[in-house]
Amino acid sequence: SFEIPISKLVPGFSAQGAKGYSADLSFNGSSIFWGIQLGATYKISDMLSVFGGVRIMPSKNVYEGSIKNIQIQIGDTWYPASAWVGNLAVGVQAYANMPTTLQPYIDQGAGAYTLAQLEGAGKITAVQKAGVEGGLKLMGLPQDQINAMNMNQIQGAYTVASPSFQQKANQLNETSQNLQDKEVDTEQTGTGFTPILGVNFSPNEDWNIAVKYEYKTILNLKNTFGESDNYGETLFGKETSSNIPGILGIGLGYKGLDWLEAQLSYTAYFNKGVDWGANTRDMAIWGSADKTKIRPREIEKMGYELGLGLQFNLSEKFAVSVGGLMGDMGVADSYQSDFSYSNPSTTVGAGIMWKVGERLTLDAGFSDTFYKDQTVTYNGDPDLGESFSYKDTYGKTTFDFAVGLSYSIF
């Protein structure tokens, strides 16, 4: 998203001989979502208990980065991109202003003269003649026709074309602005609250069934920008929605064998209809051009995770475990961007449990998650036209390691 304004230089100015671009890019980001949870369980009977609680989520994202020293290669020469495009804008603006520029010649009775006749009479210079001809050529007129046109005809052609030239000049000026140095110093902060309810049912010592529901978490992050930040609001807006959907978790546990325990889980994410905010890539493309083109991040289908865990009790004090998890959050293409994306995944993991003492237990484990690559097509661009399109492919893998100590006070 940082590179979008400059990645369009070569295709956008290929007719002018653009061959390459360069820039100094840097970016650092951090994202911390704390979960502080308090809850209580009430035992209704030996088989049934219920749980109620709340999770508080103080959240903070920090983004820092810059785009500096943007250059464009024209032929074999490198130019500061903003100044080079700005000079183009000046030239196109001159074509847009041409009806006014030519009016004094017509007022002085030169309406029937050709450009060559005016040059021969010393009324215009060769440079001025070439400037007028340049705009006519951009209109698609051949040189023979230009040579035969008088000033009245030339002014008429420019009057018709002037709005198009003005629109192009405005686009070039905006592009020139977009190619100036940019800095991001954005901090996003907010707090969400999640009510949680649960039921646990154990028909006997071998089987256990648990159901938990987490309510939808409303989490809006307020964006604040440092004094040097001149691009963060374009990317993120004034507020970023980071809502978390309602979550239903169902677990089934079996420990009928001394040496084996098994856990099966299914988690449903009610993520359709949740406000996930705007697509950051769209914000970068259309934020200063046409905000109606910015898509909300959407979900196509309800997300899920299905997991299985097996624990092998090697002794009364030591056990090992293995497990697997597959999941798909069901996101639409409009959800995905380089700032945040979610792909179908498969996870494998293993761990150990060691009862260090009567009340103290050590747990440790690791997992590796493999995400399926997702390719997203972006269509249309304010500078390159509606027919322009390109693809992004998002993929990753994550490795997690955790250690925990638990102490039973009863």
Per-residue pLDDT, 340: 86
Read off the pLDDT band of 171 (50, 70, 90): confident
Check pLDDT > 90 for residue 386: no
Per-residue pLDDT, 158: 96
Check pLDDT > 80 for residue 26: yes
Cα 197 from Cα 242, distance rounded (Å): 22
Within 10 A of 170 (CB to CB), how many other CB atoms are there?
14
User: Which residue is listed with tokens 């039921």?
Assistant: 199
Per-residue pLDDT, 333: 93
Read off the pLDDT band of 84 (50, 70, 90): very high
Query: Stretch 381-402: mean pLDDT, rounded?
Result: 89
Cα 131 from Cα 151, distance rounded (Å): 14
Check pLDDT > 80 for residue 400: yes
Please tell me the least confidently modeled range out of 4-18, 81-95, 114-128, 163-177. Answer: 4-18
Check pLDDT > 80 for residue 181: yes
8 A C-beta contact, residue 17 and residue 75: yes
Q: What is the CA radius of gyration of the chain?
A: 32
pLDDT digits (tens, 9 = 90+) for 96-112: 999 999 999 999 999 99
Check pLDDT > 80 for residue 90: yes
pLDDT digits (tens, 9 = 90+) for 228-243: 999 889 888 899 888 9
Read off the pLDDT band of 280 (50, 70, 90): confident
Q: Identify the H or E element spanning 130.
A: helix 126-138
How far apart, in Å, do the first and last CA atoms of the chain sit?
54
Per-residue pLDDT, 288: 75
Check pLDDT > 90 for residue 270: yes
Q: Identify the H or E element spanning 377.
A: strand 374-381
